[in-house]
């Protein structure tokens, strides 16, 4: 692989975003969630982003292992 | 949160060098970059603004406009682009026609890029004003300086990777906003009942904002002020085909694909996420206008007495997202504005330096000389964008002004390409005079008509007499494009028949349909063929049209 698989930075970025949002969601004052209809969106969306980031990283890992194929 | 975004963007930027790697990008990456290239402020702010101003009819930009056009570019036009080795639209025109056609197109394209970047600049400055409380004029200056730094630091070297990253950032940054908004108003039913208030207040049938076709029998019965003919021919045909088939910022992404088949599949793959983009960009606009009408004063009122529709997305962000997620949403917005601006200014720089300056003004200078000229062009491009940004402040929906520019530039250009690619008899003189006639016709039409309630000037009618009044800015744009296309089409044919061909069949090989060998796809599985993919795209968009009829 002479160039970086784009899924690695994307996966890495959303994994970090997800973790940061989850931690923030756990420690933040519940009062700020009034505007989001009482839902702790930081926590929930953080989980979604984390899942997305990990899937991207997993795809990159899997794709990297069996790469020599013709990438059409 | 903003810091992390920037740090990671920098890492991505320096870790890859797209243009050195040549044509090796997988089709799915090229496909995402293809739609990301126009997922800038135009799309996010403009389509939301249109959703608020015109309701669900805005979806025609996707399901009647972009979808058929993307299928067309993938199936029929990509072979000539990919096969011609041209690096830009003006260059193709030079190969196919002649030097003067290229020059004219280079000039109009340069103007278009300045407007596009100016509109992004306006949107970003407006966002800074709203969220950080900065002065609008100061925000414009800051934006200009940041973009300048971004370009000089080489921010566009790996444009395609950035764009893919940005695509996910925008989708994942905005989706919670849409979900929260929908939950708040009580789903689609709740939204329909809110929008029936909006429609009744504006003097339409209750369903006018939530039905895309039902009220298009007459231009007076729907908020966009257009009937089915102007919609399908003006928007669907002249404008959308013009945009998707000739805007090189977009088409170039497909040319980075690894093979001819991959290049043809790029727009067809891109069509799938594009098809569902209205959910992300139009729906928030509809939510915003619904809240505006039923909960009072959600959108600030502009100087023209109408709500400033451009603020639909920023207001919703501030309304629903708490600290934390708000940072993600703002990062997504700013990233898209910034790259939208940088991409257009860089395109301006390229066209000016290589297609205009090097060709007509000072040929045969050293590379260093042209590099310096390029730097100057970047600064000039940004200054011109500032002017365009102030022009954009005069429109309550940036999509109105953007489509106006497209109707001038892409409308006639599409006729030129159509004839150039499929009619080998069309000549350089024909193409040039057609393009010129199309642009002049657009200017005449714009100068002699006006949208309802406007004063002569920037919104049209500046030639003294007003021959016709359209119900909305957008309706005027659609008809401008249609008139420009028709005039270019006819003029090109007539002048071509009166003049001699200057290019031989041999020179046109690979540039014209009848002189290019057919592509053989017999060995490919039927479900992998571009044609199958294209037909599937058309069927699903037809279904979406019926659902929201």
Six-digit token string for B204: 């339409």
For residue A45, give every residue at least 6 positions away whose Cβ sits within 8 Å of its Cβ, in sequence order, or none: A21, B176, B325, B328
Question: Chain A contacts of B335, Cβ < 8 Å?
Answer: none
Q: How far apart are CA B408 and CA B185, in angstroms?
A: 39
Using a CB–CB cutoff of 8 Å, tell me whether A47 touches chain B. Answer: no
pLDDT block averages, 10 residues each, chain B of length 549: 48 38 63 77 82 84 86 84 75 85 88 88 84 83 83 59 79 88 84 78 77 77 78 81 78 73 83 86 87 78 78 85 85 79 81 81 79 84 89 83 86 88 86 90 85 74 74 84 90 88 78 73 69 82 81
Bridge partners of residue B450, in order along the sequence: B469
Gyration radius from chain A CA atoms = 16
Which residue among A12, A42, A71 places its CB closest to the CB of B324?
Answer: A42
> Residue B435 is part of a domain; what is its CATH number?
1.20.1730.10
A42 touches chain B (CB under 8 A): yes
Query: Which residue in B508, B404, B394 sits closest to B93, CA to CA?
Result: B508
Q: Hey, is the C-beta of A45 within 8 angstroms of any chain B C-beta?
A: yes
Contact B12/A3, CB-based, under 8 Å?
no
Return the pLDDT at B18: 34
Contact A35 B322 (CB under 8 A): yes
pLDDT at A48: 92
| CA atoms of B265 and B533, how far apart (whole Å) | 8
A9: chain B residues, CB-CB within 8 Å: 8, 11-12, 15, 161, 165
Residue B262, both tokens: 């991959």
- Residues from chain A that touch B1, judged by Cβ atoms under 8 A, are 17, 20
Rounded-to-integer distance, Cα B136 and Cα B140, Å: 6
Q: Taken in order B345, B350, B355, B359, is the CA torsion positive or negative? A: positive
Rg (CA), chain B: 23
**How distant is the Cα of B28 from the closest Cα of chain A, in angstroms?**
9
| DSSP helix/strand/coil, B450 | strand
Q: Which of A21, A52, A72 sits opposite B324 (nearest CB)?
A: A21
Q: Is A23 on the interface with B (CB under 8 A)?
A: no
Interface mutation vs chain B, best among A2, A25, A30, A36, most B CBs within 10 Å: A36
pLDDT of residue A47: 92
> Which residues are paired to B468 by β-bridges?
B449
Q: Which of B261, B320, B323 sits opposite A72 (nearest CB)?
A: B261
CB distance A9–B161 less than 8 Å?
Answer: yes
Structure tokens at B74: 């993938």
What total number of domains does chain B contain?
1
Q: Residue B287: CB partners within 8 Å, gap ≥ 6?
A: B178, B181, B182, B185, B191, B316
Contact call for residues B20 and B154 (beta carbons, < 8 A): no
Three-state SS sequence of B108-174:
HHHHHHHHHHHHHHHHHHHHHHHHHCCCHHHHHHHHHHHHHHHHHCCCCCCHHHHHHHHHHHHHHHH
Tokens of A10: 């994307």
Instruction: For residue A36, give how far its alpha carbon lies from the nearest alpha carbon of chain B (Å).
Output: 5
Residue contact B16–A13, C-beta within 8 A? no
In angstroms, the CA B197 to CA B206 distance is 7
Q: How confident is the model at residue A50 (pLDDT cuts 50, 70, 90)?
A: very high
Average pLDDT over residues A1-23: 79
What pLDDT is stored for residue B113 in this prediction?
Answer: 87
* Dist CA B535 CA B524 (whole Å): 16
| A46 contacts A38 by C-beta, under 8 angstroms | no
Rounded to 10 degrees, the C-alpha dihedral B57/B60/B61/B64 comes to -170
């Amino acid at each position: 692989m002479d160039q970086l698989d784009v899924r690695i930075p994307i996966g890495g970025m959303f994994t970090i975003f997800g973790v940061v949002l989850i931690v923030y969601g756990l420690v933040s004052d519940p009062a700020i969630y009034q505007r989001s209809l009482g839902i702790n969106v930081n926590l929930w969306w953080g989980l979604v982003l984390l899942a997305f980031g990990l899937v991207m990283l997993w795809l990159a890992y899997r794709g990297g292992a069996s790469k020599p194929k013709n990438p059409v | 949160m903003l810091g992390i975004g920037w740090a990671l963007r920098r890492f991505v930027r320096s870790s890859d060098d797209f243009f050195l790697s040549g044509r090796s990008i997988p089709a799915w990456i090229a496909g995402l970059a293809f739609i990301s290239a126009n997922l800038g402020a135009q799309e996010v702010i403009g389509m939301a603004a249109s959703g608020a101003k015109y309701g669900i009819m805005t979806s025609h930009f996707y399901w009647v406009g972009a979808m058929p056009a993307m299928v067309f570019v993938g199936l029929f036009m990509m072979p000539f682009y990919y096969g011609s080795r041209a690096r830009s639209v003006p260059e193709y025109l030079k190969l196919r026609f002649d030097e003067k056609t290229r020059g004219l197109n280079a000039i109009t394209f340069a103007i278009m890029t300045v407007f596009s970047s100016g509109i992004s600049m306006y949107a970003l400055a407006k966002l800074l004003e709203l969220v950080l409380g900065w002065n609008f004029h100061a925000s414009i200056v800051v934006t200009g300086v940041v973009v300048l730094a971004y370009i000089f630091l080489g921010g566009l070297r790996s444009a395609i990777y950035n764009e893919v990253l940005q695509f996910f950032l925008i989708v994942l940054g905005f989706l919670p906003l849409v979900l929260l908004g929908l939950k708040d108003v009580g789903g689609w039913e709740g939204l329909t009942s809110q929008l029936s208030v909006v429609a009744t207040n504006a003097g339409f049938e209750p369903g006018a904002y939530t039905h895309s076709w039902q009220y298009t029998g007459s231009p007076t019965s729907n908020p966009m002020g257009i009937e089915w003919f102007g919609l399908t021919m003006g928007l669907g045909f002249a404008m959308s085909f013009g945009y998707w088939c000739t805007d090189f910022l977009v088409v170039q992404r497909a040319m980075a694909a690894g093979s001819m088949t991959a290049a043809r599949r790029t727009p067809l793959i891109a069509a799938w996420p594009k098809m569902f983009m209205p959910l992300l960009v139009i729906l928030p606009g509809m939510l915003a206008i619904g809240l505006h009408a039923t909960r009072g004063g959600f959108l600030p009122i502009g100087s023209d007495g109408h709500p400033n529709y451009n603020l639909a997305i920023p207001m919703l962000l501030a309304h629903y997202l708490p600290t934390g997620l708000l940072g993600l949403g703002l990062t997504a917005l700013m990233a898209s504005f910034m790259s939208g601006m940088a991409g257009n200014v860089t395109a301006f720089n390229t066209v000016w330096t290589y297609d205009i300056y090097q060709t007509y003004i000072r040929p045969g200078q050293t590379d260093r000389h042209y590099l310096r000229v390029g730097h100057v062009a970047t600064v000039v491009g940004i200054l011109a964008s500032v002017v365009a940004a102030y022009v954009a402040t005069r429109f309550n929906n940036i999509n109105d002004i953007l489509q106006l520019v497209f109707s001038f530039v892409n409308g006639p250009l599409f006729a030129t390409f159509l004839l150039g690619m499929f009619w080998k008899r069309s000549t350089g003189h024909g193409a040039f005079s057609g393009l010129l006639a199309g642009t002049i016709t657009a200017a005449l039409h714009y100068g002699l008509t006006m949208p309802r309630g406007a004063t002569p000037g920037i919104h049209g009618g500046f030639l003294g007499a007003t021959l016709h009044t359209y119900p909305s800015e957008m309706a005027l744009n659609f008809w401008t494009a249609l008139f420009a296309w028709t005039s270019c089409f006819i003029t090109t044919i007539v002048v071509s028949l009166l003049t001699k061909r200057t290019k031989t069949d041999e020179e046109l090989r690979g540039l014209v349909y009848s002189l290019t060998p057919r592509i053989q796809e017999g060995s490919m599985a039927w479900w992998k063929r571009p044609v199958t993919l294209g037909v599937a795209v058309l069927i699903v968009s037809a279904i979406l049209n019926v659902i929201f009829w």
